[in-house]
């Protein structure tokens, strides 16, 4: 067959086009490939299975004075290939001068906007099955303590989740028992038996060894202060730590060389402890020496929870009860107000949920958010503070705020101007043998009742003192709330939030 000149041109043009296309696509692939080489590997490419062995991880040190390079060197001398990961919130400055080896890495927890998320996650860098958390200033001897720790850990497999080797220092390592109740916003430390090696928390310096996957399955594996944060989380999971007979020495004691640096470090530690308890929602800490620390609201702060909707405070949705600081402030306000009412001759009685709490366990119900008192309307003029509250809110000499409520004809005493925890005073008056009032709330318990319940009023244990209650308060409560109310606790609005079953009070 014959090919025309035009057909020939066309065939050549198509061939050239195909060649160009092929060339461009090859070029693009190569560019893409090269581009990928310059990006950090993606998570699934890098993270293979964990290798046997231990990585040392150093989390807590000061920028302004630390011995991290010496710590790393002493461990690397023990075992040249030992992986070491230094974890910092931000790039340490001045630079630390770490040994430049591929097995020594620094992780900055603060994510950088041009880097993938996994580059700021320490689990990306710890690729061994075990990890040892090493405090600053620790010196590894040539006796391979890490290997011995690992052997001991493997020997106690299944019995403990962590082993600890004390750092020989001025303060001996203390073995503690820690009980954390998130429901009650509380952490309680008690000393373990003197010879005990099994603990749920430690106080003092130690090298701690655990499984890498255990560490990174915690909620916040490396929050500071490291030991405090770690043991709060591990005790909530029922883990224990065994103190070993292996120990480490320290570069020198105390670690920081000037009292100014020590002061700086102490302040930073205090601030991170405060932040940790805030983040974890722990407001009361009972220390091993019996001292109590509060991290919740006070007269100078707002109360711990916001405005209440449908009788159900926000903490109930978090499966928590009233913060202990708020219960304490409510008890204090109740005791104070009741004392003033008694002194000025105003007849009062514990009302509603407050009476229920007194009948059930001589205290405020652990999830209640205010205190209710009934008073005789005709006695109000006897109390100067209540009289004055008629014409606007007043702050008394102890900082409590007395006011007439805007919601209706009742009075409210607030813990302070900032903290609106309060006691409500509900004025009732007798009418045809019944006690009644003019403002009613949309509550089942807010009903008229026979006056004979108040004749006489009877003393009842409440919140650490004796208060007055209606006589036959069981029938009084059952009239208001229904039968069996004392024995069957329920949240204020069960339609929205029911109490969990098997909930120990
Ligand atoms: Zn509070």
In SS3 terms, 9-34 reads as HHHHHHHHHHHHHHHHHHHHHHHHHH
CATH class, range 46-183+192-256: alpha beta
Cα 80 from Cα 290, distance rounded (Å): 46
Instruction: State in Å: Cα 298 to ligand 1 middle.
Output: 7
In 3D space, the residue among 238, 261, 133 whose CA is nearest the CA of residue 180 turns out to be: 238
Q: Does pLDDT of 474 surpass 50?
A: yes
Q: pLDDT category, 171, cuts 50, 70, 90?
A: confident
Q: DSSP letters along 254-293, please?
A: SSSSSHHHHHHHHHHHHHHHHHHHHHHT--EEE-TTS-EE
Q: DSSP letters along 183-209, please?
A: TTTEEEEEEPPTT--EESEEES-EEEE
Instruction: State in Å: Cα 300 to ligand 1 middle.
Output: 11
Query: 303: exposed, middle or buried (C-beta count within 10 Å: 0-12, 13-18, 19+)?
Result: buried
Return the SS3 of 359.
helix
**All structural domains of the chain with their residue ranges:** 46-183+192-256, 314-481
Summary mean pLDDT of the chain: 91
Q: pLDDT category, 440, cuts 50, 70, 90?
A: confident
Cα 31 from Cα 455, distance rounded (Å): 93
Instruction: State in Å: Cα 108 to ligand 1 middle.
Output: 35
Q: Does pLDDT of 40 surpass 50?
A: no
Q: List, in order, residues 6 or more apart from 350 with CB less than 8 Å away.
A: 358, 372, 373, 374, 460, 462, 467, 468, 469
Instruction: State in Å: Cα 356 to ligand 1 middle.
Output: 22
Instruction: State in Å: Cα 297 to ligand 1 middle.
Output: 4
Instruction: State in Å: Cα 304 to ligand 1 middle.
Output: 4
Instruction: State in Å: Cα 421 to ligand 1 middle.
Output: 8
Instruction: State in Å: Cα 266 to ligand 1 middle.
Output: 26
Instruction: State in Å: Cα 232 to ligand 1 middle.
Output: 21
Instruction: State in Å: Cα 400 to ligand 1 middle.
Output: 16
pLDDT of amino acid 179:
98
Instruction: State in Å: Cα 27 to ligand 1 middle.
Output: 65
- Residue of 17 and 243 predicted with greater confidence: 243
Instruction: State in Å: Cα 370 to ligand 1 middle.
Output: 12
CA angle, residues 349, 351, 353, in degrees to nearest 5: 145
pLDDT of amino acid 441:
80
Cα 283 from Cα 304, distance rounded (Å): 10
pLDDT of amino acid 157:
82
| Average pLDDT over every residue of 466-474 | 98
Contact assessment for residue 421 and residue 313, using Cβ atoms and an 8 Å cutoff: no
pLDDT of amino acid 196:
95
Instruction: State in Å: Cα 312 to ligand 1 middle.
Output: 16
Taking CA atoms, 453 is separated from 19, 77, 470, in Å, by: 102, 82, 5
What whole-number percentage of the chain has pLDDT above 70? Answer: 91
pLDDT of amino acid 41:
47
The pair phi, psi for residue 78, each rounded to 5°, is -60, -45
Instruction: State in Å: Cα 233 to ligand 1 middle.
Output: 23
Instruction: State in Å: Cα 303 to ligand 1 middle.
Output: 5
Cα 320 from Cα 398, distance rounded (Å): 30
Instruction: State in Å: Cα 274 to ligand 1 middle.
Output: 15
CATH class, range 314-481: alpha beta
Instruction: State in Å: Cα 371 to ligand 1 middle.
Output: 15
The number of angstroms, rounded, from the C-alpha of 57 to the middle of its chain's C-alpha atoms is 24
Instruction: State in Å: Cα 279 to ligand 1 middle.
Output: 15
């Amino acid at each position: 067959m014959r090919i025309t000149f035009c057909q020939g041109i066309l065939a050549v043009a198509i061939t050239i086009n195909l060649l160009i296309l092929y060339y461009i696509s090859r070029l693009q692939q190569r560019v893409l490939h090269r581009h990928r080489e310059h990006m950090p590997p993606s998570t699934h490419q890098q993270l293979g299975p964990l290798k046997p062995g231990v990585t040392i991880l150093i989390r807590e040190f000061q920028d302004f004075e630390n011995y991290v390079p010496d710590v790393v060197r002493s461990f690397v001398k023990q075992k040249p290939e030992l992986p070491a990961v230094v974890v910092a919130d931000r790039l340490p400055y001045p630079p630390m001068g770490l040994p430049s080896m591929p097995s020594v890495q620094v992780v900055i927890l603060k994510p950088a906007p041009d880097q993938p998320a996994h580059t700021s996650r320490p689990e990306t860098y710890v690729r061994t099955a075990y990890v040892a958390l090493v405090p600053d200033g620790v010196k590894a001897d040539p006796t391979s303590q890490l290997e011995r720790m690992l052997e001991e850990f493997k020997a106690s497999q299944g019995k403990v989740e962590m082993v600890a080797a004390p750092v020989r220092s001025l303060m001996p390592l203390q073995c503690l028992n820690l009980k954390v109740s998130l429901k009650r916003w509380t952490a309680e430390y008690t000393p373990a038996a003197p010879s005990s090696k099994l603990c749920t928390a430690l106080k003092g310096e130690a090298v701690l060894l655990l499984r890498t996957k255990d560490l990174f399955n915690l909620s916040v594996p490396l929050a500071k202060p490291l030991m405090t944060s770690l043991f709060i989380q591990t005790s909530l999971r029922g883990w224990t730590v065994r103190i070993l007979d292996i120990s480490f020495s320290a570069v020198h004691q105390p670690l920081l060389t000037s009292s100014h640096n020590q002061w700086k470090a102490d302040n930073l530690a205090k601030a991170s402890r405060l932040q940790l308890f805030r983040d974890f929602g722990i407001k009361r800490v009972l220390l091993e020496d019996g001292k109590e620390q509060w991290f919740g609201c006070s007269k100078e702060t707002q109360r711990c929870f916001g405005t209440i909707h449908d009788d159900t405070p926000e903490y109930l949705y978090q499966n928590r009860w009233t913060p202990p600081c708020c219960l304490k402030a409510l008890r204090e306000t109740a005791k104070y107000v009741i004392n003033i009412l008694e002194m000025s001759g105003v007849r009062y009685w514990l009302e509603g949920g407050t009476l229920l709490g007194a009948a059930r366990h001589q205290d405020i119900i652990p999830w209640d958010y205010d205190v209710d008192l009934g008073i005789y309307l005709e006695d109000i003029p006897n109390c100067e503070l209540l009289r004055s509250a008629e014409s606007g809110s007043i702050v008394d000499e102890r900082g409590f705020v007395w006011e007439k409520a805007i919601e209706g004809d009742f009075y409210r005493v607030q813990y302070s101007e900032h903290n609106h925890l309060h006691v409500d005073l509900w004025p009732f008056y007798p009418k045809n043998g019944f006690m009644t009032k003019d403002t009613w709330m949309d509550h089942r318990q807010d009903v008229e009742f026979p006056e004979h319940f108040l004749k006489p009023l009877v003393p009842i244990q409440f919140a650490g003192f004796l208060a007055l209650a209606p006589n036959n308060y069981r029938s009084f409560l059952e009239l208001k709330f229904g039968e069996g109310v004392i024995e069957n606790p329920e949240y204020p609005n069960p339609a929205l939030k029911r109490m969990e079953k098997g909930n120990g009070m």
